[in-house]
Every structure is written in C-alpha cells, then in structure tokens.
Amino acid sequence: MKIPVYVCPRCGWTTVIRWEHCMECRTEMLKRQSSPLGEILSFTTLNFPPEGFETPLSFVLVRLKRGMIVTRAESDSWLKIGGKVELIRKGNLFFAVPSSGWPRFFKKIFG
C-alpha cells in the first residue's frame, strides 16, 4: 500500500492533504505516492473524545519519506518518538502499526 501525497515540483512543499496549488509558491501540485513506512514524531492518547468517538483514542504524528501525517493507533503502549511504523488503512483512516522487522502476517493479526 502507498500513501498518496501532493508535491510541489517547484519548491518541494509536500502535503498528505489534497491540494491543487502549492501554498508556498502557487505552482500546480503533483500527486505522488509515498512509502507507508515512517518514523514517529509524536503521539498522544486522548481520554476525552469529541461527540461520536469512543475513548481512549491514540494518535500518532508520523514523518513519512514525503510529508507528515496524523494517524490513529490501536494503543499507545508501544509508541516512542523515533520509533519505526508502517501505516495501514482501516476504512477511511490510516493506522500506525510497528514496523521494526515484524513479519507482515504478524502485523495483520495484531495491527
């Protein structure tokens, strides 16, 4: 699985959010793919979610090869800044799962 990202061919500004034109130099953005592998920049578990969500909610800010993305995680017990993660898709959302050498079938079971 690849993560869709939008890259400015002129200045290199990159975003995971669909963007028609670069907000830094106004150039038309190009749609590219990024590896689902990344590194944890930060994480949190929210105990007081907004209406319509169940508690607790864990979030991970991940640095991809191209761009940053906020994802969910099933739990925060394994999270640490600098940790390696792989992103998987569940419905419309991305979830971060450990990637440090775990075999793919293991991640599918416990991700």
Residues found near other proteins in the complex (CB under 8 A): 15-17, 23, 41-53, 57, 59, 61, 67-72, 76, 81, 92-93
Nearer to other proteins, 55 or 109 (CB): 55
> Whole-angstrom Cα distance, residue 56 to residue 73?
10
Residue 67 CB, nearest distance to other proteins (Å)?
7
Residue 105 CB, nearest distance to other proteins (Å)?
27
Nearer to other proteins, 63 or 107 (CB): 63
DSSP 8-class letter at 47: S
Residue 69 CB, nearest distance to other proteins (Å)?
6
- In one letter, which amino acid is 82? G
Nearer to other proteins, 15 or 99 (CB): 15
> Whole-angstrom Cα distance, residue 13 to residue 34?
14
Tally of CB atoms within 10 A around 34: 19
Nearer to other proteins, 54 or 105 (CB): 54
Residue 91 CB, nearest distance to other proteins (Å)?
10
* Beta-sheet strands, E only, within 1-111: 3-7, 14-15, 30-34, 37-46, 57-64, 68-73, 84-90, 93-98
